[in-house]
Structure formats: structure tokens, C-alpha cells
Amino acid sequence: MLPFLLGSCSIARHYRTVPLSEKPVNLADPVFDQIQPHWKPLARQLAESSGGLLPSAGNQVQVFTNGQDKFGNLLEDLERATFSIDVEVYRFADDSISTDVRDLLLRKAAQGVIVRVLLEGRAYPSGNPAFYESLRQAPNIYTLDVQPADDAGGLLSHLNSWDHRKIIVIDNQIGYVGGMNIQDKYRNVWRDTHVRVVGPAARDMRRMFDNMWAMLSESEPAHYPLPEAAPAPSGAVAQFVGDGPVTPDKPIQGSYLTALALARDYFYIQNPYFCPPARMIQALIDARARGVDVRIMIPHKSDIFFMDWANSSYYRKLLKAGIRIYLREDPFMHCKAFVADDYLSCIGSCNLDSRSLQLNFEDNLYLYDRELALHNKEIFLEDVRHSEEITLDSYKPSPGTAIMQKLTRLFSGII
């Protein structure tokens, strides 16, 4: 694959390796007793990975399927911030919602709230540099560019390791994670999934943010102590996991493989860019062979012109294995999620292509909770009502399409 040829330069020259936690993972932690025994291997695997943290209990979780609800809640939470706001978002565009968020950050900083912003320099527009300079120059706001234009690694490293995460943490108490960037199309147009968490998992999101900050800078404060949110008595067990070029064991890809191996009843996936490695394709087929109801949903029309060919290049093999495939009608579906067996849910930033799984900085939130899984299952089934199902009988690609499918697989992980 071409992305791996581009990835041959040394990542270590650009990011300092910083331990996510100084404390060893305690696999005897009682939080594991709150997870169904069948799914404990996944939780332990993620906790032991280089990008994982222990699961935490007592999290209040709210799932958003549209940007109006998500951004409405986010603006209210930002307005109530007292101590700190941490923002790590792939796209922070110069448009209406971004201006609302930026102006609110400026106002909160003026009130004494410490604001930290990680900017992915290749993902925000350069047409209006004053928009971002207002953040960089404001008192009490700290900013870092994840990949400055003059990075020492040169063009290849600059193209490769993107910070694709979407993390916002407020007062170490409230965390947001999912597929939505700070951009108008996520608020008003696209179909996406995002999560608001109140509880200990917000602390873990902040630890992931601190880790990224520390990798990029030794001069700015990477961490300052804040009180943690008290666990809610009836809250969910959640586990936050990060991935990136400095996590050699690739925990997010591993989590898909393990979850598919553990699934007994069903496994439903939604993802806009479906070009997974061969071992994940085989894990999907193996799960279906065991009798698991495996369903995959991707957009009917991609926002990247060649991704329709790349996505569809896997249809025939999957359909022959008995896996059901749905094409979500407009609006464009951008969510990255799966749900399994009325118990495990996952919502995050990671696409199922080689870029996200191997090169980017990504994050996923894993939820071990029956009520949330049933809710996320219903979200999937509601989207099925707005989708076209592809079958072996209906799928008849032309010879030209078959050629383009093979070609676009080579480039699907670069964009």
C-alpha cells in the first residue's frame, strides 16, 4: 500500500514518546468486575495497550446523532467552564460555528479560564490567518501546531501523521469525542455521531490530550491538577483509547479484531471510509461464518470522489460471505461507530482505512453498557430505514468500475 511507502520515514524524529500513564496497569482493578465476563478480554487488551487506559465506571453518556444537539450542548458547557478548556479537533474551520466557538474561548480566557488548543495545521483553512492568530495571541490561551509547516521531517512526514482526533474536555469533568469537527457542515448538514461524557472518562480524555501536548512541547505546561468528576451511581463503564504513529501495537485495529472474535449475536458497523486491511476483512468473514449477524453501513455517495470505488471494492467478497451492506442515503454519513451483542458500543474518530489505522492520531470511546448498546443499535436500525441494501443480485459493477476499484485502493489511505 502506498501510505506505508510514504510512512517509511522515522516518526521518532517528530514526536517525543511520552508514557500515557506513569502507573502500571492494574488488571486486578475492581472496575473489570463491572464488565461482562465475556467482554473482559477486550477491556484488558485495551488497558494493556500502549494507547489505552483502564476502563472507568460511573460515566453519564449522551449520544448525539446530529450537530444541532451536539453543538448546542457544547456551547452551553463551554459557557459554564470555570477552570479549563482543552480542544484537540482535526478541523477548526473559519465559518459560523467555528467563530461561535472561537469567540467563546476568547471570552472564557478573558475570565481566567485556561484554554489549550491543538491545531492540526494541514486541516484548517489558511485563507484567514487572523482567525487563528486571535487564538494564538490571546492572553491565557495556549496553542500548539501539531505539524508546523517547517517540520524537520520534510514533505513525507508532513503528509503522513495527521492529528485526526476530536477531543474537547471542560474542567476535567465533561468530555466530547466522536466524528464531528468544528465546522458548519457537521452542525447543519452531515449525519454524524458524537458523545458527551460526564465522569471519570472525561479525565482520561484529558490525559490523552496532555500526552499529545507533552509529545509536541517541553516549554508549555502540559498538565495542571484539577478535581475529577465523581462517578455516577448508575453510570456506564467507559474506556478511552488513543492510537497513532507512536503506538506500535495499534490498539484500535486490535480492538476491532478482538471484538469481532468475541461477538456472538451481531456486529453492526458504520464508517464513511471502509478500506480495512485484509486481516479485518477476514475477521468480519470469520464472525459471519460463526453465525454472527454482521452488517456494514457506508455512505451512498462519498465526499471524496474516488472513495465510492474504494469502498465498493470489498462488496462482492463480503456479500458472498453473507455480510449485509447498506448505503446510507444523503445527508452524507460521517460517523465512525460499531455496536455488538446489546452490550458493547464504540464511537470515535477512526476511519477503517490504512491512514487512520496505521498513521493518524485517533481516538475511540468504548462503552460496556446494555442500555447504551440498545440505543446505539436503534440508531443503526433507524439509519437502515434511510439506506439501500446491496445484494449479490443487485451489485453488478461494470468492467470500468472494477478497474477503478483496484486502482483507488492504492490511494484510499493517503487522503
Q: Which residues belong to the active site?
A: 164, 166, 171, 334, 336, 341
Q: How far is CA 76 from CA 72, 104, 170, 184, 195, in A?
A: 6, 10, 11, 17, 15
Nearest-angstrom CA–CA distance, 70 and 73 = 5
Nearest-angstrom CA–CA distance, 374 and 413 = 32
Helix axes 251-262, 40-48, angle to 10 degrees: 170
Residue 34 C-alpha cell reads as 463491572
Nearest-angstrom CA–CA distance, 243 and 191 = 24
Residue 222 C-alpha cell reads as 502540559
Residue 43 C-alpha cell reads as 477491556
Helix axes 96-110, 129-137, angle to 10 degrees: 20
**CA 293 centroid distance within chain:** 24
The residues, any chain, with a CB within 8 Å of residue 56's CB and separated by 6 or more, are 31, 199, 200, 201, 203, 204, 231, 237, 238, 239
Nearest-angstrom CA–CA distance, 116 and 39 = 36
Pairing status of strand 166-170 against strand 266-270: unpaired
